[in-house]
Amino acid sequence: MNIAFQTLGDGRWVAGDVYLQNLFHAIRHKADNNVGLYTVAPTEQSFNKGDSPLIEPDKIIRYKMPRRWTPAWLVNGVFKKLFSTDRFSGKVLQKNGVHAIFGPYLIVKYPKIATLAWLPDFQHVHFPEMFSPGERRWRDKIFRQSAVAATRVVLLSESAKADFASFAPSQAYKSIAIPPICYMPECTYSSDSKTIISFYNLPEKFVYLPNQFWKHKNHEAVFQAVRILRDNGVRLTVVCTGHPGDYRDVEHFAGLWGKVSQWNLRDHILYLGVIPREHVMSLMRQCICVINPSLFEGWGMSVDEARSLGKRLLISDIPAHREQDPPKAVFFDPHDHDALAEKLRSIWLDGKPGPDIDLETNAREEQPKRLRSFAEKFVAVCEETYQEVSR
């Protein structure tokens, strides 16, 4: 079984790359691994590797699309228009022995090749106000095209699968939820977590918020809670990392930090920028807890990272987080700043910095089984769908 993967992320959103890194690792370490892992893209498209390079694929498939207005381009265009089929790319994939292809928004078919379209979430349906009318229309169109063209539609969670069933009920039978599992290398545990304090000049005790600054990530709820606690005599530190831009609202990040200054929280809210992934893991181990106040997630990568690492979590009470249900997690209403402040206060006063030995030990023991289940489910879907299309 040879599976080709399209790139999932970009410089603004690294979770797609992290997803592929974890999936590649899980498949490579299956006990009965007989899977070829390929990456595929037109020659003009570059593979984004983020802070950590992707695990090296067995083969990189590069191809050049036919030049515009040539006979090959015209014929391929007719098949795309009438049958939603890309014969040219399909022949390239077949020539390279590909049985299945996995990628975002696969809106065309490839003859004799299974297509697994990856749809991250339906945030634009739940929070339409966070998107322009044009983007909502584009997402609706591309999601529906993917639902029709793909052999299977892969979702990150059962809650996202339920959203898909409501969005495209006639195609609901194609959907499958394959929650990602984050791999933690052994070197993560052997490093001294306190080294990160010296590197970034941080206090020993802090709460960690590792989300990019998109509107739905709801940073302001945490900042408001810190403000409430400060006004009541509890002074704590929150460390933030992540991409500062939201293409939907270019002023969002500046507006947040304007409030941090206005509320005199500069000594309490620290921003480190976009940092290497290994530093993210070190900050998670050193903090007293990881917090995720998001209003909506297809899954919530930082939550699974903390769970896989064995770290306590304070997380918003939303369907995806409830589905993950990490050990000893504390949930809060993301709209209730006072309730969040009270729960944050309790954790701050009782919590200790550094690794949680019990949670960490349990997470390390569970990791092989969780990764094996992740890989087996994904490969089984690829094999099943290939049998369907190759009959």
Domain map (residue ranges) of the chain: 2-182+370-389, 194-354
pLDDT lower than 50: segments of the chain? 49-53
Task: Decide the pairing of beta strands 2-5 and 330-332.
Answer: unpaired
DSSP letter at 142 equals: H
Name the class of domain 2-182+370-389: alpha beta
Give which of 245, 346, 357 is closest to 309, Cα–Cα: 357
Q: Which pLDDT belongs to residue 50?
A: 43
C-alpha dihedral sign at 242, 245, 247, 249: positive
pLDDT recorded at residue 51 = 40
User: Please, which residues have CB within 8 angstroms of residue 55's CB and are 6 or more apart in sequence?
Assistant: 21, 24, 25, 28, 37
Judge whether 2-182+370-389 and 194-354 match in fold.
yes
Give the model's pLDDT for residue 28: 87
Read off the pLDDT of residues 222-277 as tens digits, 9 standing for 90 and up: 999 999 999 999 999 999 999 998 989 999 999 999 999 999 999 999 999 999 98
Give the count of alpha carbons within 13 A of 321, CB side only: 23
pLDDT at residue number 43: 63
Which pLDDT score, from 0 to 100, does residue 75 have?
Answer: 75
* DSSP secondary structure letters along 181-244: -----THHHHS-TTHHHHHHT--SS-EEE-----GGG-HHHHHHHHHHHHHTT----EEE-S--
CATH number assigned to the domain covering 194-354: 3.40.50.2000
- The answer for residues whose C-beta is within 8 angstroms of residue 66's C-beta and 6 or more apart is 72, 73, 76, 88
pTM for the structure as a whole: 0.90
Contacts with 264 (C-beta within 8 Å, 6 or more apart), sequence order: none
What order of strands is seen across the sheet that includes strand 269-271?
Answer: 269-271, 238-240, 207-209, 289-292, 313-316, 330-332
Give the Cα separation of 159 and 99 in Å (integer). 29
